[in-house]
Amino acid sequence: MRPKVVITGMGVVSALGLGVEANGFALMQGISGIREVRYLPTGHREFPVGEVQLSNDELRRMLQLPDGQLYSRTHLFGAAALREALSMANLLEHKGLVLISGTTVGGMDVTESLFPNPLPEGHPDVHDCGASTNDIADSCGDFDYISTISTACSSAMNALIMGKLMIESGERDIVVAGGAEALSLFHLNGFKSLMILDRERCRPFDQTRAGLNLGEGAAYLVLESEESARKRGAQIFGVLSGCGNACDAFHQTASSEDGEGSYLAMTQTIADAELSPSDIGYVNAHGTGTPNNDASESAALRRVFGEQLPPVSSTKSYTGHTTSASGSIEAVFCLLALKNGFLPYQSEFQNPDEQCITPVSGKKAPQADLRHVMCNAFGFGGNDSSIILSRYE
Amino acid sequence: MNKVYVTAIVKDVPAEEYGHYLPPMKARRMGKLQKRALVTALKAMEISGVGEPDAILNGTAMGCMENTVQLLNGLQAEGEEVNMPTCFMQSTHNTVASMIAIYTKNHGYNTTYSHRTISFELALQDALMRLRTGRIRTALVCANDELTELQQQQPRFFGQLEVQDRSEAWMLSVEPGEHPLYELENVQIIHEKGQEDHAIIHKKPL
């Protein structure tokens, strides 16, 4: 029998704040973290963003990291989230941990600030994805296995999927997985070139939606075999009960009309969790706010759930699209929904669209007794992933 | 637990063979790495007789650097007026694995590892666990990196990380087939703070 994979710690940093508590509060109150750009040195003030409201220096001091060195924001967010997760799971002093982290930007923010000059001679590596993951891990704890997944906007979710596989295969008892991503001029201008950035706050599934807002942040989940968690007497926050990963195999950046890839990812995760669609109490959609994603995802959701569509919402209306980190940030939101018994809702949603599902909206977070929730993350190249988080009982 | 076999290993496909795998019309709009990666993957599929692997995984130390450097140069030259959509969408690290899937219309498990010099080994380990536990029966595991002119001129431009200019593709299967090359026994990943990460592939020649 496969060991049950439970969650014994989590940490998160996003535009909604630092830490699980701050994020949970904003989510329940329906307060958006998307605002005018403040920290990214861009001239594009017309595009609102979901920035973490701390400068690099403030973050560095908070983390007690030495001065006189170049830090990517990816590293700083990652370290903040990882420390919270390890501390919650009582693993800060644990030897021989595993970290699997998703990122695409890595240290690009540092590279672009130096370009066309190279990294100073002798400075530790910052640019590549692996360097940022190693920095995150080594500034927080004792890790003997570190890995980085880079599947664009589904990176962190694929890290969770790999973590579950490692535990189920008996390779390890504890795996920390998630992702970290900073805003960069590189991808802000890249998304601008693709003409999918909204000049107002993004409106996922709304008829007037006109694109996404970029966000940044990090989140990690401590995944653990149930047996190990019980042995350690760890508090259990939920179960990672299902995983699915499929490729849309349609286009590098566009999603297919019928959402084949996301349909396959969602049906796989339901099968992996040994559940049926009617067991799912809430779906945290990928819901970026682009006309194409939301229509395609809605088509896939209708194919999966038919007439019995559970409540769906996109929390990107609060955090912006945190790209590679979105899968784990939104997984934390799902765990909060399970634990605190509420549905994340879109407080600013106004205009239903025939092409789309109608998300949970209103002025207050609806209460809900949730047992199983689904979380989606889709990336460029049709790298579509989906997981199910369940109440531990 | 299934045994896992390596049924094809392909690298350094000669340029004159490209046309056999990739019609010039289709290759026209592809970058050098994309072409080389795709041809290498398609040849591994042909040799192994596995046209539709259950999974496609790629390992890349630095991702698609040609497009990345082009966009960085664009930002430098034009500032934030820069408008290079194709370059941007093909700059992400997962471009290669998803391009192979798009080209062969493969909806299976698809992922990309980008962790310094052990990216390929991490992809191999992921595939190995899936094959062993019966989640999949075949997997194409690739390694792809390119060296831009900038990196050739200034090897330390992005840091100390040593990148190999290469495309390589392995086909793994739970069936030995007619000509298995190795049995893949284990992949060991080692991280020590302050040391370069390393990995060991344990494979038994057959």
Q: Report how far Cα B90 is from the mean position of its chain's Cα atoms.
A: 14
- CA proximity to A315, closest of A115, A16, A64, A92: A16
- How buried is residue A113: exposed, middle or buried, by Cβ count under 10 Å (0-12/13-18/19+)? middle
Which class is domain A5-232? alpha beta
Closest-CA distance, A22 to chain B, in angstroms, reads 32
- Predicted confidence at residue B72, as pLDDT, reads 98
Chain B environment of A138 (Cβ under 8 Å): 193-194
Residue with tokens 């430098």: B76
Across the interface, whether the CB atoms of B110 and A246 are under 8 A apart is answered yes
Q: Is A269 helix (H, G, I), strand (E, B) or coil?
A: helix
Shortest CA distance from A116: residue in chain B:
B76
Q: For the beta carbon of residue A256, count every other beta carbon within 10 angstroms.
A: 18
Question: Angle at which helices A155-168 and B119-132 pack, to 10 degrees?
Answer: 50
Tell me the sheet residues that pair with A177: A100, A221
CA gap A223, A220 in Å, rounded: 9
Q: Which of A133, A152, A194 sits opposite B115 (nearest CB)?
A: A133
pTM of this structure: 0.98
Cα A237 to Cα A228, A332, B142, distances in angstroms: 14, 10, 37
CA gap A370, A376 in Å, rounded: 17
CA gap A377, A387 in Å, rounded: 9
Q: At a CB cut-off of 8 Å and minimum separation 6, what does B184 contact?
A: B4, B5, B6, B124, B128, B172, B201, B202, B203
Q: Residues A250-301: pLDDT tens digits? A: 998 889 999 999 999 999 999 999 999 999 999 999 999 999 999 999 999 9
Token pair of B44 as six digits: 């591994």
Interface test with B, best of A45, A70, A150 (most B CBs within 10 A): A150
Q: How many CB pairs under 8 A join A and B?
A: 209
Judge whether residue A1 has pLDDT over 90: no
Sequence spans of domains, chain A: 5-232, 242-390
- Predicted confidence at residue A385, as pLDDT, reads 98
Q: Residues A8-64: pLDDT tens digits? A: 999 999 999 999 999 999 999 999 999 999 999 999 999 999 999 999 999 999 999
CA gap A241, A239 in Å, rounded: 5
DSSP state of A39: S
Token pair of A286 as six digits: 């990928």
CA gap A352, A208 in Å, rounded: 9
Q: Which of A121, A379, A381 sits opposite B156 (nearest CB)?
A: A121
In DSSP notation, B90-111 reads TTSTTHHHHHHHHHHT--SEEE
- Predicted confidence at residue A283, as pLDDT, reads 98
Chain A environment of B71 (Cβ under 8 Å): 186, 189-190
- Predicted confidence at residue A352, as pLDDT, reads 98
Q: Pairing between strand A97-102 and A383-390?
A: unpaired
Q: Which of B71, B92, B101 sits opposite A380 (nearest CB)?
A: B92
Shortest CA distance from A189: residue in chain B:
B80
A2 contacts A168 by C-beta, under 8 angstroms: yes
CA gap A379, B119 in Å, rounded: 19
Interface test with B, best of A42, A252, A256, A260 (most B CBs within 10 A): A252
- CA proximity to B166, closest of B14, B73, B33: B33
CA gap A288, A306 in Å, rounded: 22
Across the interface, whether the CB atoms of B98 and A149 are under 8 A apart is answered no
- Predicted confidence at residue B50, as pLDDT, reads 97
Token pair of A43 as six digits: 């001239």
In angstroms, the first-to-last Cα distance of chain B is 19
CA gap A34, A289 in Å, rounded: 13
Q: At a CB cut-off of 8 Å and minimum separation 6, what does A160 contact?
A: A177, A178, A221, A223, A240, A243, A327, A328, A331, A387
Q: Residues A100-113: pLDDT tens digits? A: 999 999 999 999 99
Residue with tokens 């000059």: A117
Q: Provide the ipTM.
A: 0.98
Q: Which of B84, B106, B129 sits opposite A249 (nearest CB)?
A: B106
Helix or strand holding residue A179 (H, E): strand A174-181
Q: At a CB cut-off of 8 Å and minimum separation 6, what does B15 contact?
A: none
Residue with tokens 């391009």: B99
Region A347-368: what's the mean pLDDT?
97
Shortest CA distance from B189: residue in chain A:
A145
- Predicted confidence at residue A164, as pLDDT, reads 98
Token pair of B187 as six digits: 């992949």
Region A365-387: what's the mean pLDDT?
97
Across the interface, whether the CB atoms of B159 and A124 are under 8 A apart is answered yes
Q: Is A193 helix (H, G, I), strand (E, B) or coil?
A: helix
Contacts 24+ apart (CB under 8 A), B17-23: B17/B43, B21/B46
> CB distance from B81 to chain A under 8 Å?
no
Q: Report how far Cα B73 is from the mean position of its chain's Cα atoms.
A: 25
CA gap A298, A351 in Å, rounded: 15
- Predicted confidence at residue B28, as pLDDT, reads 87
Shortest CA distance from A263: residue in chain B:
B107
- Predicted confidence at residue A252, as pLDDT, reads 86
CA gap B3, B176 in Å, rounded: 9
Across the interface, whether the CB atoms of B156 and A118 are under 8 A apart is answered yes
- CA proximity to B45, closest of B20, B80, B14: B20
Chain A environment of B128 (Cβ under 8 Å): none
Sequence spans of domains, chain B: 5-64+93-205
- Predicted confidence at residue B29, as pLDDT, reads 84
CATH tag for A242-390 (out of 3.30.365.10, 3.40.50.450, 3.40.47.10, 3.40.50.200): 3.40.47.10
A242-390 and A5-232 share a CATH fold: yes
Closest-CA distance, B111 to chain A, in angstroms, reads 6
Q: Pairing between strand A174-181 and A97-102?
A: parallel
Q: Is A99 helix (H, G, I), strand (E, B) or coil?
A: strand
Chain B environment of A243 (Cβ under 8 Å): none
Chain A environment of B101 (Cβ under 8 Å): 247, 249, 381-382
> CB distance from B119 to chain A under 8 Å?
yes
Q: Does domain B5-64+93-205 bear CATH number 3.10.20.30?
A: no
CA gap B55, B107 in Å, rounded: 8
Shortest CA distance from A244: residue in chain B:
B109
Provide the H-helix boundaries in B24-163: 24-27, 32-48, 65-78, 85-89, 95-104, 119-132, 149-153
CA-based radius of gyration for chain B: 18
Low-confidence ranges of chain B (pLDDT < 70): none
Shortest CA distance from A146: residue in chain B:
B191
